[in-house]
Chain A
């Protein structure tokens, strides 16, 4: 079985260090890791940019206002940190289509792009309805033993397992 590996760290070690990072962050700033709220703030900012006045009237945008906050800084950092790590061990790779996808569905970028785009819509809609993503509900939720984290993570995987196995099912 092809595992597409190119070095990297032991996942147990890298993961455990993320645990340490989460403790330090909570200890210093009281902030728990998360990611999906920033997409709402960014979406609101884009709507404002194109001249929509919906942000002023929509109750959800009023609650999650378009501003650049701690979590947005984390995501900027993630981009930078991933680039540093990839540059450091030369695993940076300019990739237009994921290899596993290409093996099964071919190399057209638009085909992959269309499915990823639709997937992104579902994923963010679901994350906002569930009030968290694998970072907020998964990492931060489970660390706090939150029931919402356990329930959400279970259904994240449930939905994902279903779709991934339908997508890659063997031809009859």
Chain B
């Protein structure tokens, strides 16, 4: 049953990614070149809505709902920069690369092949990473409200206000 939900979730996700036009190399490089902020608007809108709903579910239905990834500064920062370098070169990320194929952007296949090689390479170096980078600045599974020691709704309201401000500014400067 979970597999079926996965498929349906994916179909809707792919449909919306395509309708939002974020599966394009031009949109992703457009954001990185600070020319077209479509993907930022798309992503941040998803985050704002999802954040409210997920924390409502967390408070009202299931307190064990969250599935946090560990904050390991060394890994998040170094891995993040490496991902960013690759993203700038390829112009698509793992999820959007698959979607790009769906709308006929065949060139995504080269990057997908590269990503499979990248996964193999990481599997090879993972044992070494566990002794080095993955131990640098390991804070475990922490959230922003937990770190600040305040209620999550305060953080959510401030975050929403900040992002809405960003949206207004982006529209004003016509990006």
Is A155 touching B81 in the complex (CB atoms < 8 A)?
yes
Report B's interface with A, CB cutoff 8 A. 2-27, 29-30, 32-36, 38-39, 41-51, 53-54, 57, 61, 65-73, 75-91, 93-95, 97-108, 110-124, 126-127, 129-130, 133-134, 139, 141-145, 147, 152, 155-156, 159, 167
* B interface footprint on A40-54 (CB within 8 Å = 1, 0 otherwise): 101110110000001
Q: A6 to chain B: closest CB distance in Å?
A: 8
Q: A11 to B81: give the CA distance in the assembly, Å.
A: 26
Which of B42, B83, B98 has a CB less than 8 Å from the CB of A122? B83
Report A's interface with B, CB cutoff 8 A. 1, 3-6, 8-9, 11-33, 35-36, 38-40, 42-44, 46-47, 54, 58-61, 69-86, 89, 91-101, 109, 112-168
Which of A71, A95, A143, A164 has a CB less than 8 Å from the CB of B54? A143
Known A93-B104, A129-B134; further 17 A-B contacts with Cβ < 8 A: A8-B19, A8-B20, A9-B20, A15-B41, A16-B48, A43-B120, A69-B6, A82-B14, A86-B103, A95-B106, A109-B107, A126-B82, A131-B75, A132-B69, A134-B43, A145-B156, A146-B144
Q: A69 to B7: give the CA distance in the assembly, Å.
A: 10
Main secondary structure of the interface of B (DSSP, over half): helix
Main secondary structure of the interface of A (DSSP, over half): helix
- Chain B positions within 8 Å of A115 at CB level: 89-90
Which of A82, A123, A125, A147 has a CB less than 8 Å from the CB of B144? A147
Is A143 touching B47 in the complex (CB atoms < 8 A)?
yes
